[in-house]
Amino acid sequence: MAELTVVGKPVTRVDANEKVTGEAIYGYDLVLPNMLYGKTLFSTKAHARIKRISTEKAKAFPGVVAVVTGADVPWTHGESIKDKPFLAQGKVRFIGEPVAAVAAEDEDIAQAAVKLIEVEYEDLPVYVDPEEACKSGAVAIHEDFPKYRKVDFIVPGAHANIAEHFKLRTGDVAQGFKESDLVLEEKYFVPMIQHAAMEPHSAHAQFDKETGRLTIWVANDAPFRALHEIAEALGMPKEKIRFINPLQGGGFGSKGGLKVEPIAVALAFHTNGRPVRVKFNREETFISTLTRHEAVVYSKTGVKKDGTLMAREMTIYWGAGAYAEKSPTVCIRGSLPAPGPYRIPHVKVDGYAVYTNKPVAGSYRGYGIPQGAWAGEQQMDEIAKRLDMDAVEIRLKNIFVEGDISYWGEQLHAVGLKETLTKATEAIEWGNKPHQIKPGVKNGKGFACIQKPTRSPTTSAAGVMVNTKGDITVLAGTVEIGQGCNTILSQVAAEELKVPMAKVQMHPLDTDVIPYDASTTSSRSTYHMGNAVRRASIHAREQIMEAASPMLEAKTQDLDCVDGKVFLKDQPQMALTLGEVVRRKFGPEGVVRGDGSYTYEIGKDLDLETGHSDHASAFYMYATQAAEVEVDEDSGRIRILRMSAAHDVGKAINPLNCVAQIEGGVVMGIGSALHEEMVIDQTGKVRNPSFLDYHLVTSLDTPELISIIVECAEPEGPYGAKGLGEPGLAPTPAAIGNAVADALGIRIYDLPLKPENVYWAIQNKKKKDAA
Amino acid sequence: MNQKIQFTLNGKSTTMEAPTHRLLLDLLRDEIGLTGTKEGCGTGDCGACTVLMNGKPVNSCLVLSGELEGASIVTIEGLKIGPELDAVQNAFVRDGGAQCGYCTPGMLMMSKALLDENSNPTEDDIRFALSGNLCRCTGYAKIIQAVQDAAAMIRSKNVQ
Ligand code: FES
Ligand code: FES
């Protein structure tokens, strides 16, 4: 490969300037001409039949233009199970479910009118615990579940509230446990948390009766999928729908799917062509948008005395909340690798996505990996302790290496796990473990390993245009959610067209003109869209070379391209700028456009009975993170002193950006480890829907962060790249849990590790020791 | 009830009518059209809406328009000096202090307030000053580094 000039370099972000000046326009900032303001009435009941809704008073309120309820919009949507109405129909299934909406001349009027809508409910039993919700006798939260439209791979469970039952069957776990010298069995719990992107949710919509077109402006991380879902729900041709993406103020998985969009769309059909904006405030964002799956994980592991893993059996209840959203795929892709990145001959996993009467769980940075790792990686440490083995040593004995066949039957390649393990543990001086430095404070170290698949198979397509000035415009459907894709994709185009970064710009995201992209999720963009932009850039370059060939009187193979110029390899002074070539060939307004598309084709589909697949993911991300903590024995307070994170990224297209992704992911993970939880009472009410009561990590709480990039090239990836958006978060809680156990000699099974939980664990141990 | 208010906004004298209960944040974003100041919570818990009021950082979601009479307000749009970025803006660009950028205007205004008072802050000073400004993307490390770098830039300028 020729030497890379832009790829692999620490290029600063291309979008930094507009962000530091306040010029960047986010979805929440957008004002449209003649716009109306929408407000939503949310359910106050977690599970109830709607006996009556009356909207007369709201409709009569001066300044109100439209009031809609479920009766006006008889549509349902859902990524893999079509179970969610645009507005509640007949019943409500969680507190915060949109029931009705108002569009008015201003926000105050809309809010006042919402208060005038009367709803009469008849209570039904409320389920807040996923295990309870699928016990026999529990009533169906979705009576019509069997009738819902579903995608092919859905396997409903035995109970009506199990939306998906994932099964993995390898070997014979009973036999494996029999052959083991030690068998451990424990229950772990991960609570519901929220993405808490700093920009709350909003959507704008407009329906033009004359053209029959529906336009939606929304910071959605998967506009093409959202477009598809709306088209399907409404029975509208896709060409009649257009998504325009303003900038997105963070997402972490929360901004895919449909949340505010259906409300804006419902109103837009009743406003006589005027656009309507629906904004959720922070509290509404907390109760009505998406959350991360709470999970109850039962893990049973058998090992030989020498630490060789023999069998692992896991049963995971994924709390889906009131609607399926992404639960089936979180259940599948989170349960599949939950036993961890290890060679295990006998494996059995049952993952259940269970409906409850809580806010809807969706995709969340890490997509099910943190929950499995919280259980599996802590149990690995517990086993090491019982066998009196070093935690690194037991991992080294069992971890996946190049060429291993995974327990789901896939031969693995580009496995950089071992290097991440060695480097992350070395970075915190693993071998050197002082347990007490200050009186009353215990120190400990711990780490965790993960392997993460990406959504497969999927497609990304891109266009690259070169104008007569030699400016490059990239058309790509990857959404800049803060992760830095605009910089990465610009680097790819600059690399392939051999132009300086300043010559490249990204086209705004508009589904009318931008080629298809599956989604900005699952850490898939650098790999998939990187490949697509690379192909499109090469396609454009080839056209330019071909056009330049007669101009320079040379064969294309004798031409080269550097620094925005095409020239003769052996006579570099014979050169034309890219822009000049375009102008001469296509005239003063001419443009060369290259197109490229990349689809990862899955090998065999996941077998629904065994969970086996010979190629379940386009690529796998591998990481190890290690933490050093101190725990105050009197208060139970944990302080993280330093945290290392070694990630196999395949190839770092932009090392600066890699570190940015790692640091952000690690710190988000620290929040979920130490204090984040959505506190939901027995009635299904979220008790802490504000930043005052739901604690995010602040600038006071972050430890020293040591980011380590490991490059084990993925042959199919652009320049060898994999992905990195999610894995920074995934092993963080388990690494901290292991460090706390090391410090205290106490294993804590439930997240978060908030001071009171740690305090009581210490007290209980003291009592036990005394007895 | 509408009331006439007069205040200075980014160096310009501004007169307008607004209900006394209107929040400064809404006034800036909805009435004046300066959307650089962000809304993250509306309840004083995130710092995204930070602006300078008479040189001091405030959460604009907690300031009523009735309090504005005679005040001097500086928003993110007023941070540039002519076409030049302020030192702290420059440092955020260089160090990667902004990812999604939604917390960035608030972070910058808070940092500006800190640096105006103390151009030689310790790391702890910076962490403390920014502790009311939430960022969900960066993990804060690059932000803290950017403020340190901005401080160094300011000091070296002052020496010159
Ligand atoms: S919007 Fe003002 S503090 Fe959050
Ligand atoms: S950069 Fe996204 S919240 Fe700070």
Residues of B (66-85) whose Cβ lies below 8 Å from A:
75-77, 79-80, 85
Contacts of A17 in chain B (CB under 8 A): 85, 93
Q: Are residues B74 and B91 in the same domain?
A: no
Instruction: Say which DSSP state A24 is in.
Output: -
Of all residues in chain A, what percent carry a pLDDT higher than 90?
97
Contacts of A698 in chain B (CB under 8 A): 130-132, 134, 140
Q: How many helices (H) and strands (E) does chain A have?
A: 18, 29
B45 in ligand 1 pocket by Cβ < 6 Å? yes
* Strand runs labelled E in A456-581: 459-467, 472-476, 504-506, 509-510, 559-562, 565-568, 571-577
Domain end residue (candidates: B51, B78, B105): B78
Contact A331, A164 (CB under 8 A): yes
Q: Are residues B74 and B111 in the same domain?
A: no
From A270's Cα to the closest Cα of chain B, the distance in A is: 24
- Residue A238 half-sphere exposure, CB side, CA atoms within 13 Å? 11
How many angstroms separate the CA atoms of A57 and A68, rounded? 13
Q: Are residues B108 and B134 in the same domain?
A: yes
- Flag whether residue B148 sits within 8 Å of chain A, measured between CB atoms: no
A88-to-A73, A218, A468, B158 alpha-carbon distances in Å: 9, 22, 54, 62
Residue pointed to by tokens 């598809």? A228
How many angstroms separate the CA atoms of A102 and A107, rounded? 10
* Strand runs labelled E in A18-63: 36-42, 48-54
Q: Are residues B132 and B96 in the same domain?
A: yes
Domains A16-23+458-599 and A294-399+413-455+605-770 share a fold: yes
Tokens representing residue A132 in the block: 């309870």
Q: Are residues B19 and B42 in the same domain?
A: yes
Q: Residue A381: which H helix or E strand, with range? A: helix A369-386
B138 in ligand 1 pocket by Cβ < 6 Å? no
- For residue B101, the ligand closest to its alpha carbon is 2
**SS3 label, residue A320:** strand
Angle, helices A417-427/A391-398, rounded to nearest 10 degrees: 170
Is the pLDDT at A181 greater than 70? The verdict is yes
- For residue B46, the ligand closest to its alpha carbon is 1
pLDDT at res. A260 = 98
From B160's Cα to the closest Cα of chain A, the distance in A is: 26
- Flag whether residue B143 sits within 8 Å of chain A, measured between CB atoms: yes
Instruction: Say which DSSP state A81 is in.
Output: B
Paired strand residues for A517: A460
Closest of A650, A662, A665, A709 to residue A415, by C-alpha: A650
Report CB contact under 8 Å: A12, B37.
no
pLDDT at res. A435 = 85
Residue pointed to by tokens 């004359």? A210
Tell whether the torsion through CA atoms of A10, A508, A235 and A258 is positive or negative. Answer: positive
Q: In what order do the strands lie in the sheet with A48-54?
A: A91-92, A48-54, A118-123
Query: What mean pLDDT is predicted for residues A50-69?
Result: 98
The alpha carbon of A260 and the centre of ligand 1 are apart by a number of angstroms equal to 21
Closest of A649, A651, A650, A631 to residue A639, by C-alpha: A631
pLDDT at res. A205 = 98
By C-alpha distance, the chain A residue nearest B109 is: A20
B126 in ligand 1 pocket by Cβ < 6 Å? no
**SS3 label, residue B131:** coil
Measured from the CA of B134, which atom of ligand 1 is nearest?
A: 4
Contact B148, B126 (CB under 8 A): yes
Instruction: Say which DSSP state A84 is in.
Output: E
pLDDT tens per residue, range A675-705? 999 999 999 999 999 999 999 999 999 999 9
CATH number for the domain harbouring residue B62: 3.10.20.30
Residue spans of the domains in chain A: they are 16-23+458-599, 31-124+199-249+255-288, 294-399+413-455+605-770
Contact A58, A136 (CB under 8 A): no
The minimal CB distance from A696 to the residues B77, B100, B134 is found for: B134
Contact A94, A322 (CB under 8 A): yes
Is the pLDDT at B107 greater than 60? The verdict is yes
Tokens representing residue B26 in the block: 């809404």
DSSP for A433-468? --SBSSTTEEEEEEEEEEEEE---S-EEEEEEEEET
From A37's Cα to the closest Cα of chain B, the distance in A is: 12
How many angstroms separate the CA atoms of B50 and B103, rounded? 9
Q: Are residues B63 and B91 in the same domain?
A: no
Residue pointed to by tokens 């290097």? A419
Tokens representing residue A347 in the block: 């494996």
pLDDT tens per residue, range A471-513? 999 999 999 999 999 999 999 999 999 999 999 999 999 999 9
Confidence of residue A280 (pLDDT cuts 50, 70, 90): very high
Structurally, chain B folds into a number of domains equal to 2
pLDDT at res. B2 = 87
Q: How far apart, in Å, do the first and last CA atoms of chain A sit?
A: 68
Query: What mean pLDDT is predicted for residues A504-531?
Result: 97
By C-alpha distance, the chain B residue nearest A656 is: B96
Q: Are residues B149 and B103 in the same domain?
A: yes
Is the pLDDT at A563 greater than 60? The verdict is yes
Parallel, antiparallel, or unpaired for β B72-74 and B2-9? parallel
Amino acid at A379: Q
Tokens representing residue A596 in the block: 């490229």
- For residue A668, the ligand closest to its alpha carbon is 2
Contacts of B33 in chain A (CB under 8 A): 31
The alpha carbon of B87 and the centre of ligand 2 are apart by a number of angstroms equal to 19
Measured from the CA of B39, which atom of ligand 1 is nearest?
A: 1
Contacts of B134 in chain A (CB under 8 A): 198, 691, 696, 698
The alpha carbon of B54 and the centre of ligand 2 are apart by a number of angstroms equal to 26
B39 in ligand 1 pocket by Cβ < 6 Å? yes
Residue pointed to by tokens 């508009």? A510
Instruction: Say which DSSP state A603 is in.
Output: S
Following CA atoms A8, A14, A17, A23 in sequence, which dihedral angle do they give, to the nearest 10 degrees? -150
Contacts of A9 in chain B (CB under 8 A): none
Measured from the CA of B59, which atom of ligand 1 is nearest?
A: 2
Is the pLDDT at A308 greater than 70? The verdict is yes
Tokens representing residue B65 in the block: 């328009």
CATH number for the domain harbouring residue B121: 1.10.150.120
A179-to-A25, A168, A308, B125 alpha-carbon distances in Å: 62, 20, 11, 58
Identify the residue with better confidence: A206 or A3.
Answer: A206
Interacting residues of A174 by C-beta distance below 8 A, sequence separation 6+: none
Q: Name which of A198, A248, A697 to mutate to probe chain B: the one with the most chain B Cβ atoms within 10 A of its Cβ.
A: A198
Q: Residue A756 burial (CB < 10 Å; 0-12/13-18/19+)?
A: exposed
Q: Are residues B58 and B122 in the same domain?
A: no
B49 in ligand 1 pocket by Cβ < 6 Å? yes
Domain end residue (candidates: B78, B101, B125): B78
Fold of the CATH domain A294-399+413-455+605-770: Aldehyde Oxidoreductase; domain 4 (3.30.365)
Tell whether the torsion through CA atoms of A311, A317, A320 and A325 is positive or negative. Answer: positive
Domain holding B142, by residue range, is 87-159
Contacts of B144 in chain A (CB under 8 A): 699
Following CA atoms A218, A223, A228, A230 in sequence, which dihedral angle do they give, to the nearest 10 degrees? -10
Q: Ligand 2 pocket by C-beta < 6 Å: which residues?
A: A 198, 250, 482; B 98-104, 135-138
pLDDT at res. A603 = 66
Q: Are residues B95 and B58 in the same domain?
A: no
Superfamily of domain A31-124+199-249+255-288: Aldehyde oxidase/xanthine dehydrogenase, a/b hammerhead (3.90.1170.50)
Contact A277, A204 (CB under 8 A): yes
Is the pLDDT at A771 greater than 90? The verdict is no
- Flag whether residue B101 sits within 8 Å of chain A, measured between CB atoms: yes
Query: What mean pLDDT is predicted for residues A555-560?
Result: 96
Tokens representing residue A667 in the block: 């710190």
Tokens representing residue B12 in the block: 């310009």
How many angstroms separate the CA atoms of A573 and A731, rounded? 54
- Flag whether residue B145 sits within 8 Å of chain A, measured between CB atoms: no
From A396's Cα to the closest Cα of chain B, the distance in A is: 30
Q: Are residues B8 and B32 in the same domain?
A: yes
**SS3 label, residue A638:** strand
**SS3 label, residue A527:** helix
Q: Are residues B96 and B61 in the same domain?
A: no
Report CB contact under 8 Å: B134, A698.
yes
How many angstroms separate the CA atoms of A636 and A440, rounded? 11
Confidence of residue B1 (pLDDT cuts 50, 70, 90): confident
How many angstroms separate the CA atoms of B141 and B123, rounded? 10
By C-alpha distance, the chain A residue nearest B124 is: A700
Is the pLDDT at A114 greater than 90? The verdict is yes
Whole-number mean pLDDT of chain A? 97
Q: Name which of B100, B104, B126, B148 to mutate to probe chain A: the one with the most chain A Cβ atoms within 10 A of its Cβ.
A: B100
Q: Are residues B70 and B25 in the same domain?
A: yes
From B141's Cα to the closest Cα of chain A, the distance in A is: 8
Report CB contact under 8 Å: B35, A483.
no
Class of domain A16-23+458-599: alpha beta
pLDDT tens per residue, range A190-225? 999 999 999 999 999 999 999 999 999 999 999 999
Residue pointed to by tokens 């060695």? A422
Whole-structure pTM value: 0.97
pLDDT at res. A106 = 95
pLDDT at res. A164 = 98
Total CB pairs under 8 A between chain A and B: 169
Of all residues in chain A, what percent carry a pLDDT higher than 70?
99
